[in-house]
Amino acid sequence: MTHSISWFEIPTNDLARAQQFYETILGLELIPMDMPGIQMRMFPVPDQTYISGALSYAPDFYQPQSNGTLVYLNANPDVQHILDRVEAAGGKIIVPKTEISPDIGFMAVIYDTEGNRVAFHSVPVG
């Protein structure tokens, strides 16, 4: 086992709204990946050996929440670049860019358009 995480799903109430939010703040295009009973928009990765996840719409399975497991998304090279787009895209910053340590880098926490609490991390530059 190389990584402790292999996949994550961020629940949505409105998949199109959530997709627009994440594509706007992260500057990327999510990949449709629908299956019976669940609609997903996957975060792109170069190949399947990378850890990834998706926005998911499956209202009978789970709902967005503000106090559950906290997922940290990659915000390299600087978490502030993501935060600068959050509020205009409909989210809310709840922990601004904060240094964890000089060796570990910076983190921030937001509420997305669905009410999920999501974090971001960027490694130190240099």
The amino acid at residue 93 is: I
pLDDT of res. 62: 87
- The pLDDT tens digits of the residues spanning 51-84 come to 899 999 999 998 998 988 899 999 999 999 999 9
CA dihedral 37, 41, 43, 44 (to 10 degrees): 110
Extract the tokens encoding 17: 């709204």
DSSP-derived secondary structure letter, 1: -
Q: 3 pLDDT exceeds 80?
A: no
Burial label for 61, CB within 10 Å (0-12, 13-18, 19+), is exposed
What is the band of 43 on the pLDDT scale with cuts at 50, 70, 90?
very high
Q: 1 pLDDT exceeds 80?
A: no
Reported pTM = 0.91
User: What percentage of the chain reaches a pLDDT higher than 70?
Assistant: 98
User: What percentage of the chain reaches a pLDDT higher than 90?
Assistant: 83
Mean pLDDT for the chain? 94
